[in-house]
Structure 1
Amino acid sequence: MNEKEVIASIALTQVLGVGLISARMLINGAGSAEKVFACRKELSEIIPGVTPKIAELLDCPQAFARAEAEYAFAQKNRINCICYNDEAYPSRLRECPDAPVILFFKGEADLNALRVINMVGTRNATDYGQRICRDFITDLKSLCPDVLVVSGLAYGIDIHSHRAAVSNGLTTVGVLAHGLDRIYPAAHRKTAIDMLANGGLLTEFMSETNPDRQNFVKRNRIVAGMSDATIVVESAVKGGALITADIAQSYHRDCFAFPGRVNDEFSVGCNNLIKDNKAGLILSAEDFIKSMCWDANPDAVPVAIQRQLFVDLSEEEQLIVDILREKGDSQINSLVVEADMPVNKINAILFELEMKGVVRALAGGMFQLL
């Protein structure tokens, strides 16, 4: 991404009165953040719904001054500025209506890895929760070695998930609620540095941004949005992990939880998620991989299923077929978004289509029209 586009994207986030959704609408309508500013006086003619007031707001030299300073900081500290239309931008996150206009990333991870999960939970992780993190990540490494593990670098389940990933050689990314000029909490600095070699640190916040309370909820939507699935390890009846799970559901992403004893304070949240059918119950990495259909061998010769010549499809089955015909091979998460159906219903439809010889399951939760 060129320097002018990066600076314009940063500047757009600094214009008072222009929120995330409006900024994305402007970028999509004009074609780039740079063109949003260059054509600000004509935007009302180019983009429906844009008022002359927007043009006035975009006349904001101080926003560009701040953006130029931030770009200089990023260059000096080898931080990648990833614009919304950049190929390196997490494609799963781009699907979300409140995705950031720009991200700041330091590290080596592929944010568009084939498989991405996040592990979240209480800051007061018990020995039980810590053991789940270690065992799950260790088994995940042997069963699914190319997975990217995302979390929030916070105390408790977050940091234990990151550390387990680092010790097992899995790529792991920490999403921060502040700028990349600091690490919060400071006690996790060593782990954060270890993560840079095989993973990294990601944020939407510029330098000099404090880790204020409201920033953590914003951080959680990135954790949920860039992942295929959210895994809650331990949670009290309330907490940030449950917010992440709710956000994941709103994005039509899979959500799983490890159960705990009914009287344990930090198992109540997970048990409630399972009881209320908001999360699938898992006991191991093997459970999770089977639920995600990640256990298919990509090198295996697929079993041929004879397709019926004149197959009768329901209206919903036909919708899925039409989407696959238009989009090509698709992950189940993409089908959930395109069809606007819950994941359990999509799973049932895909099963019926497989039995009819219309689609075939591929590795990584992908489905192919035959």
Structure 2
Amino acid sequence: MKEEKLLAILRLQKSKAIGDILAKKLIVNVGDVQQVFEEKVSILEKINGIGAHSLKHLFDKESLILAEKELDYILKNNYEYSYFLDNDYPKNLQNCIDSPILFFKDGNINLENEKIISVVGTRNMSSYGRDFINNLIDELAEYNPIIVSGFAYGVDICAHKAAIKNNLQTIAVLAHGFEQIYPKVHKKYINQVNENGGFITEFWSEEQPLRENFLKRNRIVAGISKATIIIESAAKGGSLVTADIANSYHRDVFAVPGRTTDIYSKGCNDLIKNNKAHLLTSASDIVKMLNWDIQEQPKIIQKQLFVDLNENEQKIYDLLFEKGAQVLDVIALECNIPVFNLSSILLQMELKGVTKPLPGKMFEIV
């Protein structure tokens, strides 16, 4: 990626009043992130959901200065990064409407394996929770999953260590920038995690581990995975937030049941009781629910359609066939079709029996 483009992404990421959802709308509608800063404000204001308030600080000099400083840091430290429209951006995360437009990577991360699960839970893990994690990941090792967690005390670090012990790739999602590590006592595990996977974060280099950053980080933990596993949790806690986010993304959630008298089993028991999580008692529950026990079938040759598609419909079909289900905004950008035209085209394709809508403004071929 050219430095000018990365600078524009960073500048947009730092712009006040513009979060990831609005940033994606801007990029998709104008066609390129650099064009966002070259387009007239009067044009940008007309984009659905944007408005004058969101653009009030878009051209602030302060955000440009900060972006230039962060760009220099990235280049000097040779950090890798993923942009939400790049091919190497995690497919699971790309399908989440509020996923970060850019995140940074360190280590030896390889996300080609689709068996990705997140393991989260309380920082006050019991011996029951520790034993369950170790046994669970031992039993899952033959399926070679990627284990994602948040590098925190308790369940998180236990999951990372169990993955490393089984020579599995593990990814730690941080709630701060790469200039520090939290908690500091886990600094001794950095090399092991990097050798067996690595770290990712959407936060800039000097960003501190603030409370709100942990809550924001949870959407990446939930979004990058096929399923989220809650080991132990009190009635309230960050892992329950992660479970709610995973459910909103229509991902599978599993929870380990515990005694009704145990404080750190109440959250899991409530998830199961309220049908927000599958009951998890052994690795076989995950294997069956995620269909890991079904051998992969050879790729099916593209079928011949018995309907006529115009040029735009064919572009959309080819995209969805190649990359699977996609969010409306991504389809618009990849096919170079304005969003206000795309909805009617997709409707016509649905009537022809070619595509079908999914939750979260996603579409796939039939």
Say yes or no: TM over 0.5. Answer: yes
Distance 1:293 1:263, change over 3 A: same
Where do 1:90-169 residues align within 5 Å? 90-142=90-142, 144-145=143-144, 147-169=145-167
2:224 corresponding residue in structure 1: 226
1:360 corresponding residue in structure 2: none
Deviations 1:161-197 (A, max 9, x none): 0011111111111111110111100111122221112
Q: Distance in 1 between matches of 2:247 and 2:217?
A: 16
Q: Please say which of residues 159-168 and 13-22 is displaced more in the overlay.
A: 13-22
Q: Please say which of residues 251-260 and 70-79 is displaced more in the overlay.
A: 70-79
Deviation at 1:368, TM superposition (A): 10
Question: One-letter code of the match for 1:339?
Answer: L
Determine if contact 2:320/2:326 at 8 Å carries over to the other structure. no
Q: Distance in 1 between matches of 2:54 and 2:169?
A: 42
Q: Distance in 2 between matches of 1:198 and 1:79?
A: 17
Q: RMSD value over aligned CA atoms? A: 2.9
Distance 1:53 1:43, change over 3 A: farther
State how many pairs are aligned.
320
Question: One-letter code of the match for 2:359?
Answer: D
Q: Distance in 1 between matches of 2:108 and 2:233?
A: 31
Q: Distance in 2 between matches of 1:238 and 1:333?
A: 33
Q: Distance in 2 between matches of 1:31 and 1:110?
A: 29
Deviation at 1:283, TM superposition (A): 1.3
Deviation at 1:49, TM superposition (A): 5.4
Q: Distance in 1 between matches of 2:135 and 2:357?
A: 35
Q: Please say which of residues 116-125 and 93-102 is displaced more in the overlay.
A: 93-102
- Does 2:359 correspond to 1:340? yes
Determine if contact 2:116/2:147 at 8 Å carries over to the other structure. yes
Structure 2, unmatched stretches of 5+, are 301-315, 328-355
1:10 corresponding residue in structure 2: 10
Where do 1:279-294 residues align within 5 Å? 279-294=277-292
Deviation at 1:259, TM superposition (A): 1.2
SS class of match (2:17): coil
Q: Which residue of 174, 180, 183 maps to 1:182?
A: 180
Distance 1:186 1:14, change over 3 A: same
Q: Please say which of residues 37-46 and 289-298 is displaced more in the overlay.
A: 37-46
Deviation at 1:301, TM superposition (A): 12
Q: Distance in 2 between matches of 1:331 and 1:257?
A: 29
SS class of match (1:57): coil
Deviations 1:270-327 (A, max 9, x none): 111111111001211122111111111227999xxxxxxxxxxxxxxxxxxxx99994
Where do 1:54-93 residues align within 5 Å? 57-93=57-93
TM-score (norm: length of structure 1)? 0.79
Q: Distance in 2 between matches of 1:257 and 1:340?
A: 24
1:364 corresponding residue in structure 2: none
1:23 corresponding residue in structure 2: 23
Determine if contact 2:163/2:170 at 8 Å carries over to the other structure. yes
Distance 1:252 1:175, change over 3 A: same
Determine if contact 2:325/2:365 at 8 Å carries over to the other structure. no
Structure 1, unmatched stretches of 5+, are 303-322, 342-366
Distance 1:61 1:285, change over 3 A: same
Determine if contact 2:22/2:49 at 8 Å carries over to the other structure. no
Q: Distance in 2 between matches of 1:182 and 1:273?
A: 34
Deviations 1:135-165 (A, max 9, x none): 11111111x11x2111000000000000111
- What's the % identity of the aligned pairs? 41
Distance 1:161 1:13, change over 3 A: same
